[in-house]
Structure 1
């Protein structure tokens, strides 16, 4: 399912607050002043909460804590490792063999660590707009043979990641996979792949790239940067809800 660009605006707390306040204004103008002011207050409270690191952390954990984050060696052997594109890959000159650094926090990097740990003989890279080819090039530079790589480069959405990847995997006779994506994105990705009939072992990258810069200090103080982080988290909640509503996950 394709989400148009304006969908991302719908997931932003300021958009929600504006809509709520407009509804409140309608009540005020129709002589329901107390109800209208209450609704406007609700809109202001919503955007305030969404700017507070402690609240956004709670929303983030609701998605990320569904699947445990483990080192590559802790996963079982499966038919293939499926890596979804969409994040910034590790730098080619970074230490790809260190599972404690930023490499393990990226999708391509953690997929490499799983392959290096011999968790599967094949790595399927799923991303459109040249993303799959870029990941393949980097993995080959790290020593992954091209014969171990499968490319899915038509997808634009998580649903299409699952749809097109499942077709390739079935052609290879593979049913069970290790699925690699960010911890934040994992619930929607797992639901999408299972909807396509795949047996999925979630293998989230080590840490979210949306960690709050205010995690240790001022956790209760509203911060403008938290609105951006909250928007991305709410996008995942809304995306998962829409996928399930449409029968795509």
Structure 2
């Protein structure tokens, strides 16, 4: 799919095309089709309308998002204490290891700070990557430029992350990859950057729902010369009553949106 968009010269259309195929827009279209079908075929029209309403409802439920993530995306488990200890031992044994944090969005200007800032998802990833670095001693790389959906006058995300890591966490980044615009470019540019410094093992940090595709992209970019260990985060379950997981909510919409987006990206190999 990426190759086709590049061939047509419309790579920058990716965010728009994605938005058009993700919920709730397809269900709105089905509602219109169902309404039109009521006139010549009343039963079929109402069936389409009811299916559309069910789709709209489920596309904003935390429970549906959890089902999609757990059973369709199947993210790897979080690193255990034993796995972190093994990683620490590998670093002490002089194995060339790098922790790679993938960007999750940036704010060109956060008025409360008066400067650019990381989006909440990106900041959470950075925090976990820096925590892993403190626990293991492995240096950190951050990968993120100006995404396709961002304004072109924004600062590269890696630059923003480097400032926050140094000033607010007291842990400077060792590498900044600031040219990538999507996950595929994250992988290609970052692997190339780390290979030059002799890195043979990457500990990849991103959200659990994003990890299956991100890990696949990095393994393809590495071509077997660099080991990729997944270190997913954001896997905590909601603590609300189970019944509330099936009531539409903003959190539910975001969870389903992320899961469906990843499934589509895996399907079209984007």
Query: Which string of whole-angstrom CA distances, capped at 9 and with x for unpartnered residues, describes residues 152-174 of structure 1?
Result: 10111111101111111222232
Instruction: Give the Cα separation in 2 of the matches to 1:71 and 1:87.
Output: 27
* Partner Cα distance (2:267, 2:137) in 1: 32
Structure whose residues are more often strand by fraction: 2
Q: Which residue of structure 2 lines up, in the alignment, with residue 182 of structure 1?
A: 207
2:165 equivalent to 1:115: no
Range with bigger deviation, 52-61 or 184-193: 52-61
Alpha-carbon deviation of 1:235? 1.6
Q: Distance in 2 between matches of 1:11 and 1:125?
A: 30
| Alpha-carbon distance, 1:228 to partner | 3.8
For structure 2, the residue ranges without an aligned partner over 5 or more in a row are: 3-10, 91-95, 108-119, 147-155
Q: CA deviation at 1:32?
A: 4.1
Q: CA deviation at 1:24?
A: 3.5
Aligned match for 2:19, one of 9, 29, 43 = 9
Assess if the C-alpha contact under 8 Å between 2:73 and 2:263 holds in 1. Answer: no
Moved over 6 A (4+): none
Aligned counterparts of 1:24 and 1:213: Cα–Cα separation in 2: 37
Give the structure 2 partner of residue 82 of structure 1: 100
Taking a change above 3 Å as real, the CA distance of residues 19 and 69 of structure 1, as seen in their structure-2 partners, is same
Tell me the distance in 1 between the aligned counterparts of 2:137 and 2:231: 11
Q: 2:75 aligned with 1:66, yes or no? A: yes
Query: Are the equivalent residues in 1 in contact too, given 2:74–2:212 (CA < 8 A)?
Result: no
* Residue aligning to 1:54: 63
- Between 1:222-231 and 1:167-176, the stretch displaced more is 222-231
- Give the Cα–Cα distance (whole angstroms) in 2 for the partners of residues 37 and 107 of structure 1: 45
How far 1:185 sits from its partner (Å)? 1.1
Q: Give me the TM-score of the superposition, normalised by structure 1.
A: 0.75
1:133 maps onto 2:143 in alignment: no
- What value does the CA root-mean-square deviation take over the aligned residues? 3.3
